[in-house]
Amino acid sequence: MTSHSKKGTKLPNVNGWNQEKPRHSRGFRVQHRALKAISLIVVAALVFVTTAIGMSLYMLSRAPKSIRLIPQRQQKNVEIIDPNAGKPINLLVLGQDSRDGANQALGATSPDDGGEHNADTTMVVQISADRSYINIVSIPRDSLVDAPSCTTTHGTVPARYNVMFNSIFASGWQTGGDLASAASCTANAVNSLTGLDIQQFVVVDFNGLKNMIDAIGGVDLCIPVDIQDDYTSLDIKRGMNHMDGITATTYARMRHGTGTDGSDIMRTTRQQYLVKELISEALSKNLMTNNMQLYRLANSALESLTISEGMSKANVLAGLAMSLKNIHVDHVYTRTIPVVPAPSDPSSRVIWSTGATEVWKKLRNNEPLTDEQIGGAAKSAPESSQSNTDSGTQNSTPAAPSAPAAPAEPAPDPNTGLIKRADGTLIDPVTGGTVDPQDGSIRDANTGQYIGIANRYLMTTVCGVPAKNR
């Protein structure tokens, strides 16, 4: 990827997807009061039902045994329907690098950092139409992209070329002065760069993530190597660690010390790992039947998240939650967009590689981020097999017999979920990347860049957690 803009496109709009008009953002409206009122109604209903059942059982247990319970007419349960059933849902999850208020303890390095508003993390989340899987694609904040112009609350941000991705959020905030502007400009850029049509977003800051992790009682993470970071005072031992909100959030954001190479790409993979384990934790605890934890989590989310208007309706939230109650964590596919070092600054900046095109194509086609042709002939054909007509020469001799197809890959190991080749190389069947046996990190087979973490492999080989318990 050298440029995402279409040739011939003039400023002030960058437009790479053949649209006559620019994709100006719509200034998403954030309504905290409406969101809180609606969500509390849903939570209160769930809490009332579970509490009423518990109280009824308690009172019955204290009743004299000689008293017969008179059967009563049963009321039908209210049916919760997903209003988006049969439709994929695309949304942008933004981790806000805010240094204000309670975030000072988690993000700021000096008092002067207060007031900064940057995009620390950006994930495109796609929930499949049949609710059988979720795609999560991370966009590195240090990747250089072409940003289209966008409309904010207080003016327009002009189009810019070859800028850091996270600067889009910051420039939207600087011009508009609010989260709606920052998130709208970021969504507008992602749509232009990918061809998607994302109209919903969720924004969370450091302290918000910490609160939500604490709300579910913390999270278990399998750490492959001892971690010591004097910069953040982290001291985590190899093996299974139960982390509270502060520790887990700091681990996901660390860029110094042992266990990291200091890159934004590697940090992104840890954030994906944390998200998957949080989903696993929530599913394992079946929060829909635990009224106290559900109440804490709902209140934490309301205080910590900023959600676009389209996702703040009771029927949307409740219906979506119910439709995902049976999803398995192995069907949550995480991926960092493939990148290569940027020619202008290879030590600290990246650009999207040609592999990014295929990732976004799968999301546009509503397909899971899996790789079903690992090692197949289509991917392993040598470059020398190209026709000589590209160089202007003619070859009248018969074509040489094609090389035999590459042998089929072994079946994935039922415990680790990985493919082990004859030479011992570990392959992730979801991404097609190679897996480091020491730390479980997954690297792109073509670029060598980090694209994920093999969480099942870590759990079974490092922490000894059987696959059946996952």
Q: What are the helix and strand counts (H, E) for the chain?
A: 12, 21
Give me the pLDDT at residue 403, please: 54
Give me the pLDDT at residue 411, please: 92
Helical (H) or strand (E) element with 169: helix 166-176
Give pLDDT tens digits for 406-445: 667 889 999 999 999 999 999 999 889 999 999 999 999 8
| Alpha carbon distance 197, 187 (integer Å) | 9
State the Cα angle at 249 between 245 and 254, rounded to 5°: 150
Give pLDDT tens digits for 187-209: 999 999 999 999 888 888 878 78
Report the amino acid identity of residue 413. Answer: D
pTM: 0.72
Give pLDDT tens digits for 214-251: 878 899 999 999 999 988 899 999 999 999 999 999 99
Helical (H) or strand (E) element with 227: strand 227-229
Stretches where the chain sits below pLDDT 70 are: 1-81, 97-118, 287-304, 312-319, 321, 371-407, 467-470
| Alpha carbon distance 432, 333 (integer Å) | 13
In order of start, what are the domains of the chain with their CATH numbers?
89-205+264-365 (3.40.630.190), 419-462 (no CATH)
Compute and round to an integer the Cα radius of gyration of the chain: 25
Three-state DSSP state, 51: helix
